[in-house]
Structure 1
Amino acid sequence: MMITEPCTLTGQLVRLEPLQPGHAEELYATGRELETWKYIPTNPCLSLETMQQWIADTLQLQQKGEILPFAIIDLASGRVVGSTRYLAIMPSFYNLEIGWTWLDPSVRRSGINTECKYLLLQHAFEDWHAIRVQLKTDSRNLRSQAAIARIGGVKEGVLRNHMIMPDGYRRHSVYFSILDSEWEQVKANLIVKMHVYEA
């Protein structure tokens, strides 16, 4: 069975460290832009108190073994610049999902998201020996779909009326996956992309 435990993952640009209550203030500051939550069903950045409660609820889910959440630390500045997580963890099937990723607008398109995906995928496939990692996004979020496809995610299909958004919109979710047999090619592709950002 795949054994998943909290861990810290460090790259050239970022450190992914286990989410803690002490991250609340910086995460709240990071997620204040409403556009960040356009395609995400919950906005924890409505207030500092909302963020603190979100972290508490998230850590309860972690205790149940359902998710592993991270704070994203920009190594250059030492700031918390977002969050991401493993979720939909199915240890007996060696399956999980990477998602709930959001970043401070100041570090978007900086290479940080690419390195986050690399670190999470590498850990899932090489340390936990996952056989499938899935990613999903709102069907309206064409930029996210293109980004997932660019790193090698294979589109599997659409779950219609999958979620109800805060404004009542019935969200369709587009699912992608990467298999263990595809990881080496995906890894090589991500390394090339990261070198572009490091140059």
Structure 2
Amino acid sequence: MSKKMDRRSALVRLGTLPVLAAAPFLASCAGPQVQGYAQEKPALDLRTYFTGTIDAWGVFTDRSGQVVKRFTVVMDCSWNGDEGVLDEAFVYSDGTRQRRIWRLKAGPNGTYTGRADDVVGEATGQVSGNAFRWGYTLALPVDGRTWHVDFDDWMYLMDDRVMLNKATMSKWGVKLGEVTLSFTRRTPVLAKPV
């Protein structure tokens, strides 16, 4: 097997994938657009949902659909006006741990931007109806090199406690795999944050 194939295999089997995982958010790309969910209920208010403690359970599947990694996440989330912090603590099925701290900013018309230490540039997203589309490029270490992997992340609010999440990973336009997650708030939402 060539070195190139070894690297590709290692990239596909990485266990350091994020919860809020997704390809750069491109409004002009083919496929579903977040605005198509504008009438769906319950309406998602990102700042209200991502407040307090949230538990998540997820799997990473490779291109063939095989589960490569399972993981859990505990998220501590808070907002101060339009600025939020999502502190994610991951535990993977192989025992490895990871932490990512997102710093989000709410913009006009349901738009959001975000940064984290291992995110290349700025993540962008938008809420519409019960859906949130979030895209960014993650810098992943593989075989002593850093690969920039694109994520196209969709979240769907089911009720005041549960949100489902599906993210597609790609590199150079080639799909590497998917991340599927279920988020559950520990307490129901009682009021919107200040």
Normalised to the residue count of structure 1, the TM-score between the two structures is: 0.31
Between structures 1 and 2, the one with greater strand share = 2
Between structures 1 and 2, the one with greater helix share = 1
